[in-house]
């Protein structure tokens, strides 16, 4: 049997069983699924080694349990650090306009979004934005120009969509 067929056969035959076993260990179904998936990913990295084992399912189980334990330890350390830091800062502005702006920014290409955020929200001059992003000042100016145009379009479409929805609600009532 080829290495690929062995992994397919193992996945088909024992994935669910391993998830159920890991669910008992972790108490979290998605965590159990991720740990088992990680074990199969590691098996795919060295399928020949898996084929030489007497009990490949036991190896997968051991790897999945170790993955779950490692993730749990890291999460505990992170939780402790976060408790020391305190609660996350409040979002300064929760107005509908600000939230619409943030949503529209997420719809822009990464370069434009970064340039707009650094220049307009962080108040960096174009030279510093260029240095931060590792691009020329001309590129920053271009991204700012294109980003403003795209942002205006996105915000206008959002307003039209909202007013259309409001209009529909008014008509129905």
Distance CA 86, CA 105 (A): 28
- Give the residue from 14, 96, 21 showing the smallest Cα distance to 104: 96
Q: What is the pLDDT of residues 51-106, one digit of tens each?
A: 888 899 999 999 999 999 999 999 999 888 888 888 776 766 677 887 888 888 88
CATH 1.10.10.10 domain locations along the chain = 96-172
Measured in degrees and rounded to the nearest 5, phi and psi for residue 92 equal: -60, -45
pTM of the complete model: 0.50
> Which tokens belong to 42?
């590691």
Q: Tell me, what's the pLDDT at 169?
A: 34
The structural architecture, per CATH, of the domain 96-172 is Orthogonal Bundle (1.10)
Distance CA 34, CA 125 (A): 44
């Amino acid at each position: 049997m080829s290495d690929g067929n062995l992994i397919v056969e193992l996945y088909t035959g024992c994935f669910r069983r391993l998830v159920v076993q890991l669910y008992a260990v972790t108490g979290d179904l998605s965590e159990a699924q991720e740990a088992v998936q990680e074990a199969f990913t590691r098996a795919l990295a060295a399928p020949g080694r898996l084929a030489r084992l007497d009990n490949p399912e036991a190896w997968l189980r051991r790897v999945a349990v170790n993955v779950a334990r490692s993730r749990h330890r890291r999460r505990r350390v992170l939780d402790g650090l976060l408790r020391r830091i305190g609660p996350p800062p409040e979002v300064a502005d929760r107005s509908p306009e600000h939230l619409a702006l943030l949503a529209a920014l997420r719809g822009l290409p990464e370069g434009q979004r970064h340039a707009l955020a650094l220049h307009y929200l962080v108040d960096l001059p174009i030279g510093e934005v260029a240095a931060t992003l590792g691009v020329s000042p001309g590129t920053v100016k271009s991204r700012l120009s294109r980003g403003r145009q795209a942002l205006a379009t996105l915000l206008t479409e959002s307003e039209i969509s909202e007013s259309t929805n409001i209009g529909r609600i008014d008509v129905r009532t």
